[in-house]
Each structure stands twice: as C-alpha cells, then as structure tokens.
A and B are shown apart, each in its own frame.
Chain A
Amino acid sequence: GAGVSQSPSNKVTEKGKDVELRCDPISGHTALYWYRQSLGQGLEFLIYFQGNSAPDKSGLPSDRFSAERTGGSVSTLTIQRTQQEDSAVYLCASSSPGLAGNTQYFGPGTRLTVL
C-alpha cells in the first residue's frame, strides 16, 4: 500500500484480556517500529525490528508486551492481561535504511481502551 496501515483503528477491551494489534509497513521497508502515545508519558519507543536481526525490545514496559514480525513484513504487537494503564494510542512506523536519514513514516495508530 501507499502508507503504513494499522488495525484495528480502535479497540476496547476488559482488564485482564489479551489484545493483538497489527501493523502493515510500507512495501520494501526493512525497519519497523512500535511506539506508544499516552497522555502522561508522551511518545515512547517500544520495539524495533530490522530485517533478520534480533529485535530491540528495550522499550517494552513489561513482560506482558511482546511483538513479532513474520516474513519481514507484517508485525503484531500483543499485550497480555491488559491493565488500565495500557490504554493509549499504539503507533507503528516503518523506514528503509537505504533512504538518507532513516525517516520513519507512521501509521494512523490503534487507540486501545482498557476498561
């Protein structure tokens, strides 16, 4: 597609449930990032994938958060046993290291609400 796509656009879940958020990067982009945007914390880096290299998971806030990227394209961010503090907008971005300066292009985000 023309840009980064994310689904669902909105997700409402009950505390304790697991959720999966999907990101489809720009075709040909080898790098993929997940960020979280919340009122109290601003924009925070969560995890980074680059090709076949081991992902950088340094931003994941707890072991309830995990992500995978299958076939070097689509990525899924999974949050287990959701808590109310997980409520936020989850943004995905992709980039190609071949482009100067490694500009990250963002998707529209998934708004997660944990009741």
Chain B
Amino acid sequence: AQSVAQPEDQVNVAEGNPLTVKCTYSVSGNPYLFWYVQYPNRGLQFLLKYITGDNLVKGSYGFEAEFNKSQTSFHLKKPSALVSDSALYFCAVRPPSGNTGKLIFGQGTTLQVKP
C-alpha cells in the first residue's frame, strides 16, 4: 500500500539551531513529494516540492528538503529555526502516473521552536 510516514509526532528545537523534520514514503515508481505547513486554525500552506532534477529543493521561508531515492526519504530542513516556524508540518506524496493527482499525507509533525 502507498503510504507516507512521519516518525516524530513532535520536534523541539531552540531558536537559531538547525531543524530537521523527517519523512519517508512507500510508493512505487518516482513520486512527486511535497511539504506543507499548517498554522493553528488555518489551511495548509505549500512550502516546497520535489518533481525531478536536483535532489536538494529550496522553498519558502528558508526551508529546504533533500530527496533521497535509495532511502525513500524527503526530510525537511532549515539551517536556523525561528520561533515563528512553530507549526504543524505535513509531508505528502503524489504517486506517479495512473493516479488522479490526489495527495497521500503523513500524520504530521508538530514543530516547537523555543526562544
């Protein structure tokens, strides 16, 4: 079955420190990969995506993610965390052809950045 795993329910980091939010996927073929962020009582905001090409993808608000095909991972990173980065982060995968484009989401990881 196609799935996305975010192994950490919560990640805690101090402001100014680097952060990593982990994501692994189980999809046949070459999927499209996405990260979204959700602030309280808001919808999902698109951060970045991997389609093809360079494995390191840069996105909004200084976030980046690295696609690793051999490890089937797409971890989200930021060199220096801000308190305002505190939110709920979702990794999502869109399986390749033969699919309607629907996204399969991970369960989400709460990022808490402390001053």
Instruction: Give residues in A with beta carbon < 8 Å to B.
Output: 4, 6, 31, 33, 35, 42-43, 45, 48, 50, 56, 59, 91, 93, 95, 97, 100-109
Contact = CB atoms under 8 A, between A and B. Distances in A.
A42 B51 contact: no
Interface stretch (B38-46, B61-69, B72-80): B38-46
B43 A48 contact: no
B19 to A, nearest CB: 22
A109 B100 contact: no
| Residue from A50, A102, A104 with most neighbouring chain B CB atoms (10 Å) | A104
A17 B108 CA distance: 31
Nearest to B32: A101
**What range describes how many residues of B lie at the interface?**
20 to 34
A107 B107 contact: no
B43 A102 contact: no
Contacts of B36: 106
B49 interface: yes
Nearest to A111: B41
Task: Provide the main secondary structure of the chain A interface.
Answer: strand
29 contacts: A6-B43, A31-B101, A33-B101, A33-B102, A42-B105, A42-B106, A42-B107, A43-B92, A43-B103, A43-B105, A43-B108, A45-B102, A45-B104, A48-B100, A56-B100, A56-B102, A91-B43, A93-B44, A97-B101, A100-B51, A101-B49, A101-B51, A102-B94, A103-B46, A104-B46, A105-B46, A106-B36, A106-B43, A106-B45
Interface of B: 32, 34, 36, 42-46, 49, 51, 90, 92, 94, 100-108
Nearest to B51: A101
Contacts of A6: 43
Given A91-B43, A105-B46, A48 B108 contact: no
Nearest to B46: A103
Nearest to B48: A103
A85 B51 CA distance: 36
B49 to A, nearest CB: 5
A45 B36 CA distance: 15
Contact of A43 (B90, B94, B101): B90
